[in-house]
Structure 1
Amino acid sequence: MSKTGQARVLTPEQFAYLLNVIQEHRHPQKNTALVQISFKLGLRVQEIALLQIKDVAELGPETTDQRSFRLKEILALPAAYTKGADALKRSKSTYQRRRISFSIHDFDQLVRRIETMAKAGAEINPEDFYPEVKKHRGKSRDLPLSDSVLRTALEAYLRLRLAKDPTLKKTSPLFLTQKGVPYSPNTLQEHLALMQRQWAGIERASSHSGRRTLMTNIIHEQKKSVKVAQKIAGHVSASTTLIYEEPPEESLKETLHSVGFTFIG
């Protein structure tokens, strides 16, 4: 079952309107590329914020003229960018436990160990018996940059970036804020929501709408297997991807629109 309050899955008409509205605001090339990456590759907001130029393009040598570049065929997303990989190094130094769990075998061994220590008169500190915290590791994935509209958007944006600063390094952040600094995930999350909700007037749309829209399209419209969607999404477990098997909102709307009884007077 899907979670309540999930990000809006956009219809093709809403997505097209969003792209048109972006052209009426500042930085249309950057914002178009941001939206295309979100909706065509399904990247998480942290993954987009961490992208570097080298992830999507090979840069030519620095010259006094327009610096050249070649868009890559595949975006090789490093594991360090992905969810749970702590790529931003912002995890807490201490972990505040709320609950712990043991297997029956481990619990039996733990009880025997505590009994032995108690008989020996040793000091017993509960924290010494907590199981180790399982650290979530990121999952790398290769995403083909095959969509022509996505490639056009990236090329237009990179051409503009290099025209403004031909000295860009391959490790430079792909996207910068209006202040010229790299996006934090929170800032990018707010920006993507701003474009969809305020600029395009799409209720309940968020930075996760691109990812949900892509997964829903793969499963429901293209009728691909959950394994394909799981690979693209970078989910460790297929059960996470199964959330997207819920029918999109438009399907529910169409069904409810025609389900009423017709009374003949």
Structure 2
Amino acid sequence: MAKSGQARVPTATQQRHLFEVIQQHRHPEKNTAIMQISFKLGLRAQEISLLQIKEIAKVIRAGTDFQLLEIMSLPAAYTKGADAMGRSTSHYQRKTISFDVETFNKVVRQIEKLAKAGADIDPENFYPPVKKHRGKSRDLPMVDPGLRQALIGYLNLRISNGEKLKPSSPLFITQKGGTYSPNTLQEHMALMLRDWAGIEKASSHSGRRSLITNVIHKQKKSVKIAQKIAGHVNPSTTLIYEEPPEEVLEDALVNLE
């Protein structure tokens, strides 16, 4: 099972149930497309919230038609931790700091000199710089039939509602016609997974974990391929997904003699 704090990886049966139950609620075309991107491309909620139409389709005939692309090119600015388009800025507050021994000794000596000179000492002046996530662009083939069908259906619905598509328009818009914030989309995806589909401990990260787990455990692909799909800068992050999925553990426990 998933470690404490990690999103649950839904079974194949639970995934089918999720997409079935989405059809029983409002805006099934949009919600299906959102969850298809999560489960079939492994995008984070923040990345999904920032997608523009140009990332998945070429707009033609003055916005009254489109051609779905074969490959989604996800900009580095959309990835986790990046201040993409000024819409995902977060206020960072330090909880811990760390120094290597040599740096720590230098800081102590600096503080001693300032103290002897009677100067005011502000601890924040000695904090090491914050390491910011670099963000990583990636190209993701949109080859899954269910994914393509969902995206085509959703964009066709917007056109039939009288909208003229623009390349820079948000791919997913709220009921009021605005853009989703990452937090709002996270909550909405969790609502679909937990409340609508009844998948305990699921979150907006469940689709992403499900895809990467599938690539490593069921398809037996290399960690390098999984890392490329996930957009992880460090392969050690991808290695977390080598933990056996819950359904494998259930199978092992149910067949005990």
- The alignment partner of 1:75 has SS state of strand
CA contact (8 A) 1:37 1:150 kept: yes
* Deviations 1:179-220 (CA, angstroms, capped at 9, x unpaired): 222112222122222222222222222211101110110010
Aligned partner letter, 2:51: L
Q: 1:89 to 1:49 in 2, by over 3 A?
A: closer
Equivalent residue number for residue 233 of structure 1: 230
Shift of 1:166: 3.7
Equivalent residue number for residue 35 of structure 2: 35
Q: 1:247 to 1:5 in 2, by over 3 A?
A: same
Shift of 1:54: 0.7
CA contact (8 A) 2:88 2:182 kept: no
Shift of 1:246: 0.8
* Deviations 1:119-156 (CA, angstroms, capped at 9, x unpaired): 66655443322222222222211111111221111111
CA contact (8 A) 1:10 1:209 kept: yes
- The alignment partner of 1:210 has SS state of helix
Farther-moved stretch of structure 1 (37-46 vs 125-134): 125-134
* Deviations 1:44-99 (CA, angstroms, capped at 9, x unpaired): 00110111111111101327xxx12111111111111111112224322xx54333
Equivalent residue number for residue 66 of structure 2: 69
Aligned partner letter, 1:182: T
Structure showing greater radius of gyration is: 1
Equivalent residue number for residue 83 of structure 1: 80
Aligned partner letter, 1:176: I
Distance in 2 (CA, whole Å) between partners of 1:190 and 1:113 is 46
Aligned partner letter, 2:249: L
Distance in 2 (CA, whole Å) between partners of 1:96 and 1:35 is 31
Whether 1:47 aligns to 2:47 is: yes
CA contact (8 A) 2:37 2:147 kept: yes
Equivalent residue number for residue 7 of structure 2: 7
Q: 1:118 to 1:203 in 2, by over 3 A?
A: closer
Equivalent residue number for residue 101 of structure 1: 98
Q: 1:244 to 1:112 in 2, by over 3 A?
A: same
Q: 1:97 to 1:170 in 2, by over 3 A?
A: same
**Structure 1 residues 178-257: aligned runs within 5 Å:** 178-257=175-254
- The alignment partner of 2:61 has SS state of coil
Distance in 2 (CA, whole Å) between partners of 1:71 and 1:120 is 68
CA contact (8 A) 2:2 2:246 kept: no
CA contact (8 A) 1:73 1:146 kept: yes
Aligned partner letter, 2:126: F
- The alignment partner of 1:62 has SS state of helix
* Count of residue pairs the alignment pairs up: 255
Equivalent residue number for residue 135 of structure 1: 132
Uncovered stretches (5+) of structure 1, i.e. residues with no partner? none
CA contact (8 A) 1:2 1:244 kept: no
Distance in 2 (CA, whole Å) between partners of 1:173 and 1:89 is 14
Uncovered stretches (5+) of structure 2, i.e. residues with no partner? none
Distance in 2 (CA, whole Å) between partners of 1:81 and 1:222 is 27
Distance in 2 (CA, whole Å) between partners of 1:82 and 1:73 is 20
Q: 1:107 to 1:201 in 2, by over 3 A?
A: closer
**% same residue:** 65
CA contact (8 A) 2:88 2:181 kept: no
CA contact (8 A) 2:2 2:245 kept: no
Farther-moved stretch of structure 1 (220-229 vs 163-172): 163-172
Q: 1:213 to 1:116 in 2, by over 3 A?
A: same
Equivalent residue number for residue 60 of structure 1: 60
